[in-house]
Amino acid sequence: MAGGAAGERSADPRRGANHGRFKPCACRQVQHAGSDLEAARMFLTRFFGAGTTPNPCASCQDDDRLEFEVRMAFQPILDATTREVYAYEALVRGANGEGAAEVIAGVRPEQMYRFDQTCRVQAISTAARLGMGARLSINFNPNAVYEPATCIRLTLAAAKMSGFDTGRLIFEVTEAERVRDGSHLVKIFRDYQQRGFMTAIDDFGAGYAGLNLLAEFQPDLVKLDMALVRGIDQSAVRRTIVAGIVAICAGLRCRVLAEGVETQAEYRVLRTLGIELFQGYLFARPQLEALPVVDAALWEALEAG
Ligand SMILES: [Ca+2]
């Protein structure tokens, strides 16, 4: 697939063939997993432990374990005003580096909760292992979250175990496909916001309810859908639409991020429209268990152009 972000769109777990709403996670016995290192360790062991170890969540007792390994690739999000990495987006990969679409195709509906939780833990633990100092953006599946406060525990435990500051976590969710229950997503977003996590709407402009969702919840970041970004230098219509979104987001104090940027011409137009955050093949492709950096010469070329 040619598109920088396009290849990653299926990183969202809901793009599996047959996703459904998941059974409630009711792991009351680990109420304090996020507050104590030993509890965090036990919590993670229970979740990932093999054999007869009981699962931490009532829902997981019926939940199949993943029969395959999940790894993470990272793609940088750049801040053009500082030329620094603003964040890295974690993108799911298979044991041998298989792409997101292939991995997700192997996830059965009843495994989606576990898959979503496993991806979060892998993203955080891998980021910590790589010494990531920037923010970490994690794709999550709102349809795999029953109750925000309960289903965040594994994430908190993973952060605690890895020594990863939860203040550097961004949770992004695509609205390119219909979220089954918009109020449910807003509830999750608000819970995450109250916990000090950053939030992002992914693929903005491609979905069913972009502006409606924005009316209900204003995230820290709005990630422009790549269909608006691609060829924007050749399209007055796209420039007008993006300029409008930038104005709306400025009024709502949301930062706009352009993803799927592939050419210098696209970058320059987007920069002229006031966008500061960028992601795409122009800067760096995702790398498996590595943190790609951007060549300083690229910034020079972009400014010189
Ligand atoms: Ca994403």
Ligand 1 centroid to Cα of residue 101, in Å, is 13
Residue 170 CB neighbours (<10 A): 23
What would the two tokens of residue 234 be? Answer: 């050749």
pLDDT digits 0-9 by tens, 165-190: 999 999 998 754 566 677 888 999 99
Task: Provide the pLDDT for residue 34.
Answer: 46
Average pLDDT of the chain?
A: 83
pLDDT digits 0-9 by tens, 78-137: 999 999 999 999 999 999 999 999 998 999 888 888 899 999 999 999 999 999 999 999
Ligand 1 centroid to Cα of residue 305, in Å, is 29
Ligand 1 centroid to Cα of residue 13, in Å, is 10
Ligand 1 centroid to Cα of residue 8, in Å, is 7
Instruction: Please tell me the distance from the alpha carbon of residue 132 to that of residue 126, in angstroms, as a whole number.
Output: 9
Ligand 1 centroid to Cα of residue 62, in Å, is 29
Ligand 1 centroid to Cα of residue 167, in Å, is 19
Mean pLDDT over 60-72 rounds to: 74
Mean pLDDT over 142-162 rounds to: 88
Q: Percent of the chain, pLDDT > 90?
A: 61
- Among the listed residues 98, 155, 162, the one whose alpha carbon sits nearest the alpha carbon of residue 126: 162
Task: Provide the pLDDT for residue 180.
Answer: 64
Q: 84-93 and 169-174 as β-strands: parallel, antiparallel, unpaired?
A: unpaired
Q: Which residue has the higher pLDDT, 8 or 148?
A: 148
Task: Provide the pLDDT for residue 35.
Answer: 56
Task: Provide the pLDDT for residue 208.
Answer: 56
Query: Minimum mean pLDDT among 18-22, 71-75, 112-116, 125-129: which range?
Result: 18-22
Ligand 1 centroid to Cα of residue 52, in Å, is 35
Is the pLDDT assigned to residue 11 strictly greater than 50? no
Query: What is the distance, to the nearest Å, from the Cα of residue 257 to the centroid of all Cα atoms in its chain?
Result: 13
Ligand 1 centroid to Cα of residue 202, in Å, is 6
Ligand 1 centroid to Cα of residue 53, in Å, is 33
Is the pLDDT assigned to residue 241 strictly greater than 80? yes
Ligand 1 centroid to Cα of residue 169, in Å, is 14
Instruction: Please tell me the distance from the alpha carbon of residue 239 to that of residue 250, in angstroms, as a whole number.
Output: 16
Which pLDDT band holds residue 56 (cuts at 50, 70, 90)? Answer: very low
Task: Provide the pLDDT for residue 179.
Answer: 64
Is the pLDDT assigned to residue 4 strictly greater than 60? no
Ligand 1 centroid to Cα of residue 227, in Å, is 14
Mean pLDDT over 234-254 rounds to: 97
Look at the domain 6-304 and name its fold: TIM Barrel (3.20.20)
Ligand 1 centroid to Cα of residue 174, in Å, is 7
Q: Any idea where the domains of the chain sit in the sequence?
A: 6-304
Which pLDDT band holds residue 63 (cuts at 50, 70, 90)? Answer: low
pLDDT digits 0-9 by tens, 189-233: 999 999 999 999 999 987 655 888 899 999 999 999 999 999 999
CB 22 within 8 A of CB 117: no
What's the helix, strand, coil split of the chain in %, to 5? 45, 15, 40
Q: Which residue has the higher pLDDT, 49 or 238?
A: 238
Ligand 1 centroid to Cα of residue 298, in Å, is 24
Instruction: Please tell me the distance from the alpha carbon of residue 201 to that of residue 221, in angstroms, as a whole number.
Output: 7
Q: Which residue has the higher pLDDT, 173 or 45?
A: 173
What would the two tokens of residue 153 be? Answer: 């525990």
Ligand 1 centroid to Cα of residue 15, in Å, is 12
Is the pLDDT assigned to residue 45 strictly greater than 80? no
CB 193 within 8 A of CB 169: no
3-state SS assignment for residue 294: coil
